[in-house]
Amino acid sequence: MFNSHHEASDDDELVVPHGRGPNIPAQPPTFENRIWIWVEHDEFNIQDKVSRTIGSILKSMWSGPWQGWKEVPFHHRERMFERFQKYYVWEEECNSLIYSCWETCIKGKFPDLLMRARNKAKALAIQKGIEVRDDLSVIIPFKPHWISQESWTTLVNSLNTNSWKGKSCINIDNRKKAKGGRHTLGSKSFVTVRHNLDKTLKRRASFDEYWLQTHAKKGSRPLDRLEGLSGSVGDGSKEVNDMEGTDHEHNVTWVDSRARESYGRMYGSSKIVDPYVVMTGAPSMPSTESSNPPRRSDEVQRLKEQIEQDKVEKQAMMEKIEENARLYAEMNEKIQLLLKNQQKNISSS
């Protein structure tokens, strides 16, 4: 187990948030109450909880006009990691892996934290009747509580330059052009979703179920359908309730079967090798391709039709996205050409 040889002296700085609500100060737990963590698939085993703690540590120890992790001095990084060690413990041989995962997580906090700070400051300025345009200096009086006024002023002034605004526009354009592979998890991590899926199904979820759960629309995910079927069974008589375990097993098999039938057509995975190994590093549990109970046949047929309809809608959406991307590229090319011609005219005159 790894333990720090240096103890930070600012125990009362940490803030542990509850969801996205107000932050409530909390003392680090006693040593015996620290939570054991490890890394699996490049994330912490309790990624959501650890991520919130890391975000709270960063905000409570923020002490400069930092735009990104690379601007945080080494001694500040060291103190933040020491603070992190007061909340979690791990095997000593895993220390370098834990640090790497911790650094990746805290590094990724900067864009979101600063964006939220800017947006909130803009909203407060608008509430005060201040017009917010390209000049960000108007948001200087509306600093977040976790940044000092001096650091906030320096930070806003650096974000108010043409250089930063140009990079911001490029990043926005790149995000708009991104196509395919977008997940539908919201703020949940892949590891958390996989754990929840395995727990609900009472077995290791197959790659097909995992992919659909993380990429399908709400209402068409495996667990959404399973919960709907379980609910309809639960509303029946006591005899049906007594058979809940059997029905659940049928439903679990059905979910795995539907996912397996759809994944090859939807995103071109091969059935020769179990792709779950590629995604999670562990083999999936074998599932039986048993036939569905007769009373489920109508529901299965309806869901088959829904899947086909979803595929058609997805194809139409992708074609629309590609068409929009093509039009955008053409428009951007014309704008660049006009700007070049305008520059030449100005130079010649």
Nearest to 253 by CA among 291, 279, 218, 223: 291
Same domain (yes/no): 46, 93: yes
pLDDT at 116 over 60: yes
Say if residue 140 is in the same domain as residue 98.
Answer: no
Tell me if 90 is assigned to some domain.
Answer: yes
pTM above 0.75, yes or no: no
- pLDDT for 4: 38
Segment among 9-13, 44-48, 50-54, 296-300 with least mean pLDDT: 9-13
93 located within any domain: yes
Is 19 inside a domain boundary? Answer: yes
Q: What are 198's two structure tokens?
A: 């395995």
Same domain for 127 and 56, yes or no, is no
Residues 27 and 102 in one domain: yes
34 and 102 fall within a common domain: yes
Range of the domain at 16: 11-107
**Residues 1-46 pLDDT 10s:** 444 333 333 333 344 444 444 444 468 888 889 999 999 888 999 9
Whether 341 is covered by a domain: the verdict is: no
Whether residues 265 and 235 fall in one domain: yes
Higher pLDDT, 228 or 239: 228
More confident residue, 268 or 69: 69
- pLDDT, residue 269, reads 39
- The confidence score (pLDDT) of residue 328 equals 83
- Convert the pLDDT of each residue in 67-101 to its tens digit: 999 999 999 999 999 999 999 999 999 999 999 99
Whole-number pLDDT of residue 306? 77
| 117 and 155, same domain (yes or no) | yes
Residue 135 lies in a domain: yes
Same domain, 90 and 123: no
Task: Count how many domains the chain has.
Answer: 3
Judge whether 72 lies within some domain: yes
180 in a domain, yes or no?
no
Say if residue 65 is in the same domain as residue 17.
yes
Residue 333 is assigned to a structural domain of this protein: no
As a whole number of angstroms, the distance between CA 245 and CA 264 comes to: 30
Task: Report the pLDDT averaged over residues 141-145.
Answer: 94
Residue of 227 and 242 predicted with greater confidence: 227
Question: Is the same domain home to 155 and 230?
Answer: no
* Distance of alpha carbon 180 from alpha carbon 183, whole angstroms: 9
- At residue 173, does pLDDT exceed 70? no
- Give the DSSP per-residue string, 142-191: S--TTS-HHHHHHHHHHHTSHHHHHHHHHHHHHHHH--S-----TT--HH
- Shared domain for 286 and 207, answered yes or no, is yes
